[in-house]
Amino acid sequence: MNNELIEKGYRRYVGNKIDVYFNTNICQHSGNCVRGNHAIFNLSRKPWIVPDNATLEEVKRVIDTCPSGALQYQEK
> pTM of the prediction?
0.95
Q: What is the CATH number of the domain that holds 61?
A: 3.30.70.20
Chain segment 3-12, per-residue pLDDT in tens: 999 999 999 9
Identify any residues that bridge with 72 across adjacent strands, giving them in sequence order: 21
**Mean per-residue pLDDT, 16-28:** 98
Residue 1 pLDDT > 90: no
Chain segment 62-76, per-residue pLDDT in tens: 999 999 999 999 999
Task: Provide the residue type at 9 as one letter.
Answer: G
Whole-angstrom CA distances from 71 to 5, 29 are 10, 11
| CA-only gyration radius of the chain, Å | 11
Which pLDDT score, from 0 to 100, does residue 2 have?
87
Tally the domains of the chain. 1
32: containing domain: 3-75
